[in-house]
Chain A
Amino acid sequence: MATRDLVLSALFAAIIVALGLVPPIMLGFIPVPITAQSLGVMLAGVVLGARRGTISVLLVLVLAAIGLPVLSGGRGGLAVFMAPTTGYLIGWVFAVITTGYLSQLLVSHSQAGFVQTVNFFVAALFGGVIVLYVCGISYLALITGLGFSKAFMGSLAFIPGDVLKAVIAALAGRAVMVGYPLLPKRA
C-alpha cells in the first residue's frame, strides 16, 4: 500500500470522527438535526472508493474499540461492540465497501454532472442505507430474539433521515470529484 493511500485513509477516518463531534447540522427544510457520522461513512465510499474507504471506516472502528470516544455522542470502548445496535457499526464496513464499489463502477469523468450525482446517490443509497439496515436489523433481530419484522419496525423512523444523507453524500461526492478527484478508475 502506497504511503499516500494510507494517509488518505487516515485523514478520512479523522474526518468521520470529526463529523461525530461537530454539533448536529440543521437542514433548512426539515426541523430535524442530523448527526453527520453515518454521512461520513457514505462519503468515504463516494470520495475514496471501496479499498481506501473501507480502511478509513475500519480505522474509526479500531479507535472506538481501543477506548477512544470517537463515535457520535462521545461513545467508544468495547461496550459499543456489545450493544443491540452493534450491527449498524459492523454494517458500516459493508456499507462503505458497497458504496465505494458502486461509485467506481457507475461514475466516470465523461458523464454529465447530473448523471454523476444520480449515480453517486444510487451508490450511497444502496450501500449506506439498504446494506447498512440489512446488517443492523439482522443483528438486532438475532441478538434480542425480536424477529425481523419487529426489528424492522423499530428502525423505520431513522430511514428517511438516512435517505437524505445519501442525497447530501451524492452532491458532496460529485463536488469533491470536480474539485479534487480521487476515485480510482473503474475497478
Chain B
Amino acid sequence: MRSLHIDGDSALHRLPAGVKLATLSVISLALFMIGNSAFLAGAALVGLAGHTLLRISAAEIWRRMRPFALIVVVVALFTAVFNGTTEGLIALFRLAALALFASLVTATTTTGDFIDVITRAAMPLERLGILKARDVGLSIGLVIRFVPEILSRYEVIRDAHYARGLKPRPVSLIVPLIITTLRSADEIAAAIDARGIRRQK
C-alpha cells in the first residue's frame, strides 16, 4: 500500500506536521465563515498553485484530485439548481479549496510524522488512563502489515469457489475470510507480548 505522501524538500515539507494540521483547521474554519465566491475562488487557486511545490505533473495532480472532483461538482450542481447560481458557485469554490489545501498537507507529510503527532496528541488520554499512546503506532503498523495478507487470503477463498464450480457470493466469501483472519489473533497477540512490545505487566 503506497502512501499519498510525495517526497520533496519544499518549505511545506519542512514545516512541522503539527503546525500544518493546525493551519489547515484554521483555514477550513475561515473558508466556511466566508461566503464571497470571488474570495473562495481565489483560495481554490492558491490551493492549486501550492501543488506546484510538489513538482508533479498536471496529470498527476488531476489523478490525485479526481475522486473529489466528481462529488464536489455534483454537490455544487445540486446546490445551484435548488438554491441559485450564487450559492452553487460558493459551494463549488469552497469545497474545491478545502480538498486542495487538505491534499497539500497530505502530500507533504510522511506517515511517520503523522503517527508522531497522533502519539503526542494521545498523551493526555494516556494520563487519564483511557489508552496507551504507544499503542496507536503499533495498531497502525499491524493494519498496514496485514492488508496484503488478507487480500491474498481473499483470492485463495475466491479461487476455492471456482475450483469447486461455485459462484463467489458475498456471505460465502466474507465468513471464511473473517474467521481465518481473526483466528490468527491469538498467535499475533502472543508474539507481541513475548517481545514485550507493549511493556505491560
Q: Across the interface, which residues of A come within 8 angstroms of B82, CB to CB?
A: 146-147, 150
A67-B114, A73-B67 given; A10·B189 CB < 8 A: no
Q: Is B37 an interface residue (CB 8 A)?
A: no
Q: Which residue of A lies closest to B112 (CB)?
A: A66
A115 in contact (CB, < 8 A): no
Q: Chain B nearest CB: distance from A114 CB in Å?
A: 15
Instruction: Please report the C-alpha to C-alpha distance between residue A85 and residue B71 in the assembled complex, in whole angstroms.
Output: 8
Number of interface residues of A (CB under 8 A): 67
A94 at the interface (CB under 8 A from B): no
* Set of chain B residues within 8 Å of A171, measured between Cβ atoms: 171
Asked if A14 and B146 sit within 8 Å, CB to CB, the answer is: yes
B103→A150 contact, CB < 8 A: no
Q: List the B side residues contacting A125 at CB < 8 Å.
A: none
- Taking a contact as CB atoms under 8 Å apart, the answer to whether A7 and B192 are in contact is yes
Task: Give B130 Cβ to nearest chain A Cβ, in Å.
Answer: 10
A84:B142 contact, CB within 8 angstroms: no
A77 touching B147 in the complex, CB below 8 Å, given contacts A83-B72, A85-B71, A154-B78: no
A residues near B168, Cβ cutoff 8 Å = 25
Chain A neighbourhood of B3, CB < 8 A: 66-69
B33 on the A face (CB < 8 A): no
The B interface is mostly helix, strand or loop, or mixed, namely helix
Min distance, Cβ A11 to any Cβ of chain B, angstroms: 5
Q: Which of these binds chain A: B38-46, B50-58, B179-187?
A: B179-187
Known: A7-B189, A36-B170. A176 touches B178 (CB 8 A): yes
B138–A175 touching, CB < 8 Å: no
Closest to A2 in B: B189
Interface centre among B102, B139, B154, B170 (most CB of A within 10 A): B170
Docked-complex contact B170 and A27, CB < 8 angstroms: yes
Which residues in B have their C-beta under 8 angstroms from that of A62? 118, 136, 140
Assess A12 versus B67: contact at CB under 8 Å? Given A21-B151, A67-B3, A68-B144.
no
Query: Given that A18-B147, A83-B72, A172-B171 are contacting pairs, would A70 and B1 also be in contact in the complex, using a CB cutoff of 8 Å?
Result: yes
In contact, B2 and A79 (Cβ under 8 angstroms): no
**Interface set, chain B 43-77, CB cutoff 8 A to A:** 65, 67-68, 71-72, 75
Supposing A68-B4, A77-B106 touch, asked if A83 and B139 sit within 8 A by C-beta, the answer is no
Given A78-B106, A83-B95, A175-B175: A10 in contact with B167 (beta carbons within 8 A): no
A90 at the interface (CB under 8 A from B): no
Q: Are A79 and B178 in contact (CB under 8 A)?
A: no
Judge if A49 is at the interface, Cβ distance under 8 Å. Answer: no
A8 touching B185 in the complex, CB below 8 Å, given contacts A63-B143, A79-B68, A176-B178: yes
Indicate whether A43 sits within 8 Å of B131 (C-beta atoms), given known contacts A18-B154, A77-B4, A82-B28.
no
Query: What residue of chain A has the Cβ atom nearest to residue B108's Cβ?
Result: A67
Q: A142-187: which have CB < 8 Å to B?
A: 143-147, 150, 154, 168, 171-172, 175-176, 179-180, 182
* Chain B residues in the interface with A (C-beta under 8 A): 1-5, 24, 28, 32, 65, 67-68, 71-72, 75, 78-79, 82-83, 87, 91, 95, 98-103, 105-107, 109, 111, 114-115, 118, 131-132, 135-136, 138-140, 142-144, 146-147, 149-151, 154, 167-171, 173-175, 177-179, 181-186, 188-189, 192-193, 198
A: residues with CB less than 8 A from B are 1-4, 6-15, 17-19, 21-22, 25, 27-28, 34, 36, 39, 43, 47, 55, 59-60, 62-63, 65-70, 73-85, 140, 143-147, 150, 154, 168, 171-172, 175-176, 179-180, 182
